[in-house]
Each structure stands twice: as structure tokens, then as C-alpha cells.
Amino acid sequence: MVERTMDTNAVGVIGKVNSPMEFSHEMYGEGFYNFDLEVPRLSNSVDILPITISERLIVDMDLSIGSYVQINGQLRSYNRYVDNTSRLVLTVFARDIKILKDEEVDELLRSPNEIFLDGYICKPPIYRTTPFGREISDLLIAVNRAYNKSDYIPCIAWGRNARFCEKLLVGDHIKLWGRIQSRIIIL
């Protein structure tokens, strides 16, 4: 589902619209909106992913709650300042959206959440084990985009990938494939 292009940041998600569309911001006269997308996991739980989309992509489109959509885009990061503290905010920035027909949903939900990142380690990885003994490494990846901007994306590697990532150094170039996971999981 993720388009294998020369893009350094590619996301493909399929899910159900879970919130009403809300105006987010305007840039160069173009309006942008936010909504949440409920993306299923194989474990029968779901991730709730924030989506940001241009008004140009949703002209004459019914994105009512419960509609199933396929979105291709990028994972973007920005800092939100609240009470003099900075908080990293991540959102899927939609570049393309398609409303799915009922007969398309089951087939496409077999692989509903994919991401590809091509970036650089920007702080030392943190290797640890969970209380259940699973190995995990926390990474922060800087992914470059056009106009001298970068997105800073926290990533987690598990198992033998965690052991490998433990040895990475700041500045190392890395390519990774995975899925986007929300911190709030609805069962």
C-alpha cells in the first residue's frame, strides 16, 4: 500500500473516520483540517491516528463519521507550545484520499497501516527490556523534506531489531518500515 518512491517519508493507512472534521490552520490561503482515523490492528484493537488534510483534497467529499477511507501521505511532526513547554505532535499529512466502497474495505484492511522512513539518528538510542522481558530500543529519527524542513519522529524497535539499533550512533543513516501506533488504544 505504501508507494515505493524516492520519498523519504511515506505513509499508507486505511480506516474509519472517527471524529468530525475541524479547521486546523491556513497557510498561503489554503485551509487545512484535522480528524481522527480509527485504524484496526491484527489483534482486534485499533489505533486512533490524527489526520491533517488540505481543503483541496476534500472538495465534494463526504467524510462523515463511520466512512472508510484510504490515505497516502507523510508522518509530520511539529512542536506545540502549551504553558511555556514544548510538546512534539505527530500527524498523518494526507496527500491523497479515497473513500472506500463496502466491497473494498475487507480486502484492503489486511494491511491497513504502513510507514517507510529514510532518515538519520538524531539522539543516542535507548535500549531496555520491558517488565515482561521483551527487548526494545527507543529512537528519534530526523527525516528531511523539501524547503529545508525536517520531521523528528520517535520510533521503537523490538527484539533483535532493538539489539541492532542499540549500536546505532547519532548521524547514522537508517531506513525503516513499520506501522504507526497511537498511545491511546481502544479495545
Q: How is the chain split into domains, by residue range?
A: 9-186
Q: Identify which of 108, 99, 42, 29 has the alpha carbon closest to the alpha carbon of residue 68.
A: 99
Confidence check: pLDDT of 110 > 80: no
According to CATH, what is the number of the domain 9-186? 2.40.50.140
16-73, pLDDT tens digit by residue? 999 999 999 999 999 999 999 999 988 888 999 999 999 999 999 999 999 999 999 9
Which amino acid appears at position 61 of this protein?
M
Which letter does DSSP use for residue 73 in this model?
E
Q: Which residues pair with 121 in a beta bridge?
A: 141
pLDDT value at residue 140:
97
Q: Which residues pair with 173 in a beta bridge?
A: 120
Residues 16 and 38 sit within 8 Å (Cβ to Cβ): yes
pLDDT value at residue 112:
87
Confidence check: pLDDT of 146 > 60: yes
pLDDT value at residue 5:
52
C-beta atoms surrounding 102 within 10 Å: 7
- Average pLDDT of the residues in 151-160: 95
Alpha-carbon distance of 1 to 101, in angstroms, equals 17
Confidence check: pLDDT of 1 > 90: no
pLDDT value at residue 3:
53
Entry pTM? 0.90
